[in-house]
Structure 1
Amino acid sequence: MAQNRPRHVVFDIGRVLIHYDPHLAYREIIPDDDERHFFLSEVCSHEWNLEQDRGRPWPDAEAEAIARHPDRVEQIRAFRKRWHQMVPHAYDGSVAVMLGLIEAGIDVTMLTNFAADTFEEATERFAFLKRPRGVTVSGVIRQIKPDRAIYDIHVESFSLDPAKTLFIDDAEKNVEGARAAGWQAVHFVSAEKLAKDLAERGLPVPLA
């Protein structure tokens, strides 16, 4: 175990440290479940939002969506205006795990698919995001997970040894992307499962 014990732990943010759900911002705007699901899968979809994570400015994103659906201007613009409603709270358990690692002297950084401006907003709301040594934000460097480049940039930026780096993400494809880049990686399901996964690798994981 000691030979494979990670020296660096890298956390994803959305759905690992903070909750994210676009439906929360649209239940009042689009009360009908089927209509809301259509909007968030076809108009302001995950793929559409991912381009903001890749660095596309919000005005350009809104213009693109409005060109496709000119009858939904206000609904489209509400995505950015109401973004704060999509991230209502942190996951206290996994935050406690992360802070416990930091307090124990483990090198902790973050690697996230996040638009640059909404990440800045998130750090103002969730102070614990400032505790790790640093973060790679996809919208800032214009690279996204699970593409290999973002993992390599993070390694270079923080002088990590990939083989001694453990990545934690809620998306299987991003976990696989990290492994393809030579990292260790675990799929995040819950704080309890994360604590078990880390303990198995010889890391200290006090839970709050």
Structure 2
Amino acid sequence: MTPQAVIFDIGNVLIEWQPERYFDGAVGPERRRAMFQAVDISAMMERIDAGADFSQEAVRTGAAHPDFAPELLHFRDRWCQIAQPAIAHSVRLMQALRARGIPVFALSNFGAQNFPLSAAQFPFLRQFDRAYISGQMGLIKPDPAIYAAVEADCGLPPGALLFTDDRADNIAAAAARGWQVHHFKEAAGLADCLVRARLLGPQEAV
């Protein structure tokens, strides 16, 4: 089936999410390694993505790890310096799909308070036909319920949805529901996928 809509994850698909790189520059590699060993940063972000208050969670995690409290507040105070830059080729693909009139959705694990900060920094994040943001929904990938919510809202059958995400577990959960999927590793691979699906021509996918 030719996909009727393309669904993008955001982190590491449309914008880079490499907090280690930011902290290497901000506090130095040694201090960053110590912090990431002592603090489960992924768990903190997952709580935010699942609906915890962005600012309060950074403060709470800092209180639990006082040796790193100042650094942990960078997530709250310097979010737009951490969650960047845009992945230019992926953004071009998204915009080429929109130019063709193909619906483009977002399905992203992202906090309800920090997503608007990124959308203000990167206006293309406001251009989705539908945006499914985990922190706003109170659901998080790879919970099957979030995929079911997307299906119910958009009204398209699972086989008509083409979903790209950088995490294998999120891809597997979508595939289990019958979605078409592409495991994102680099934008060139997604471009090839969109050409194979006959959604874009080779020149549009450059």
TM-score, normalization by structure 1: 0.90
Q: In the alignment, does 2:71 pair up with 1:57?
A: no
Matched, 1:197 2:193: yes
Q: Report deviation, 1:90.
A: 1.0
Task: For residue 9 of structure 1, report the CA deviation from its aligned partner.
Answer: 0.8
- In the other structure, the counterpart of 1:11 is 8
How many residues align structurally?
204
Q: Is the CA contact 1:25–1:83 (under 8 Å) kept in the aligned structure 2?
A: no
Q: Deviations over 1:82-135 (max 9, x none)?
A: 111112321111111111111112111110000111110111111111222110
Helix, strand or coil at the partner of 1:74: helix
Q: Which residue of 1 aligns with 2:75?
A: 79
Structure 1 stretch 15-24 or stretch 163-172: which is displaced more?
15-24
Equivalence map 1:56-135=2 (5 Å): 56-135=52-131
- Per-residue CA deviation, residues 45-67 of structure 1 (Å, 9 max, x unaligned), is 11221100001113442344234
Q: Distance in 1 between matches of 2:65 and 2:100?
A: 51
Percent identical among aligned pairs is 33
Root mean square deviation, CA, Å: 1.7
Assess, with a 3 A threshold, how the Cα gap between structure 1 residues 35 and 183 changes in structure 2: closer, same or farther. Answer: same
Give the letter aligned to residue 47 of structure 2: E
Q: Is the contact between residue 175 and residue 181 of structure 2 (CA under 8 Å) also seen in structure 1?
A: yes
Q: Report the residue type matching 1:131 in the other structure.
A: Q
Equivalent residue number for residue 207 of structure 1: 205
Paired position in structure 2 for 1:21: 18
Distance in 2 (CA, whole Å) between partners of 1:53 and 1:164 is 26
Q: Distance in 1 between matches of 2:129 and 2:37?
A: 35
Amino acid at match of 1:92: A
**Structure 1, residues 23-59: CA drift from partner, whole Å, max 9, x if none?**
243234431x243123134315112211000011134
Amino acid at match of 1:99: Q
* Cα pair 1:168 1:188 within 8 Å, conserved: yes
Preserved CA contact (<8 Å) 1:44 1:76: no
**Normalising by the residue count of structure 2, what TM-score does the alignment of the two structures yield?**
0.91
Q: In structure 2, what is the Cα distance between the partners aligned to 1:135 and 1:41?
A: 33
Aligned counterparts of 1:165 and 1:198: Cα–Cα separation in 2: 12
